[in-house]
Amino acid sequence: MTAEPRASTARFPVTAAYAGTARIDELRATEYRHLDRDGGVYLDYTGAGVAARAQIIAHHDRLLAGLYSNPHSENLTSEAAGGLVESARRAVLDFFRADPGEYAVVFTPNASGACRLVGEAYGFGRGRRLVLTWDNHNSVNGIREYARAARSPVRYVPPAGPDLRVAEADVLAALAARAGRPWSRRSGPVGLFAYPAQSNFTGVQHPLDWVDLAHQHGYDVLLDAAAFAPTNQLDLTVVRPDFVCLSWYKLFGYPTGVGALLARRAALGRLRRPWFAGGTIRAVSVQGDWHQPMGDETGFEDGTLNFLSIPDVEFGLRWLDSIGVDLIHTRVGLLTGWLLERLTALRHRNGQPLVRLYGPSTGNARGGTVAFNFCYPDGTLVDERLVAYETSAAGFALRTGCFCNPGSAEAAFGINPGLLRGTNLAHVGTIDQHLAALGLPTGGAVRVSFGLASTAADAERFLAFIESTYLDRDGPADVRLAPRIRC
């Protein structure tokens, strides 16, 4: 039986710093008023940003004001489309302060598509290594399959400590652990180092200084900025990764289906694609059995680009600029810090903590992504599927599971590596049987995340809900939970 809920008295403190972000409250009441139309609370900004009314109107007005066609053609409508695509490329470079002589923009379907472009075309082989942090999205983890197919050594760097941060000493050890003669620039890169600027699981922000560190050890660097860029400045005159992967809907909600690979032109020139497609070649012969790739970024853009949506990227970037990424960063940091403080202070009447947090418990060097599980008074975990069911029924949009980041999940849940090597889905019938074989009490965590349009009321309402729903709760509700279908 559930104990009588206790009323929450927690209110977000409206400090001078928070008052300085009042522009976001004005936008919430105008451009983002659809977030409040049905009384729900959106807390999944790491999953997807939200679109402003102005973005949708701009898309609508542009399509009705002109005619645009395939940029590969040569007519006025194709030239109009191509001009908007090239304008969007310049806008991307401007937003990240990237020198167009040093960086190129390749439009992709999403950040995953950008990672795949690098993985399939990178010069892996016995002499080139792949080093990754445990804390990586599966779209980055998947690059290891290309590396292993080419017989490249693959090494993972684990996190250390309760904050689930990766120690720089461990990164250094992994980068330095290579056989053969010392690296020199004349010998070319020794491999690829791939890591996220910000974890999509814990919110940990890994040091951007690692880019230079890896370069000093002879590595190309792939920086996953999908979770970082929506609320943080990434200045490519200061930090110069070889590859940056992005999804635009993460930054400003719309358009979906468009991402980008920002690549240093020198690094892009070293990639060798395993195939070609329409739009990527200068010339090709069937009878002669040869082809000549395009020598610029268009050689990596397969087929016809999404020319009706790519111009929306430029509008979205201008929109973010008009608000100010630093302003968004401040607002998100204040909300995250307050929620962390409140979550870690919550206790059942018997003194046991309500929340088991995964990642940093303060706002230091972290983003607006917070992962945790709720605990019953006896310390057992509340099934994340039950939380998904109950929060959804109450109007909260959040995420549960492992968030496509198995390395962070394995570290958070303390899974024995020996069990993982001896247990795989080929030997069990369902994901739930797999979890049972690993001895896990639940199949994932709960993740809430703040973003561009978040307000103090969002955080307050979520806190009030969890206090009234999970504090002093003796056991699960009588709800039949659906089986898990993926990790």
Laid out side by side, the sheet with 445-449 consists of 355-358, 369-374, 445-449, 399-401
Q: Quick check: is 402 catalytic?
A: no
Q: Find the catalytic residue in 115, 375, 402, 404.
A: 404
For residue 357, list its beta bridge partners: 372
Q: Report the distance separating Cα 377 and Cα 177, nearest Å.
A: 46
Residues acting as catalytic residues = 404
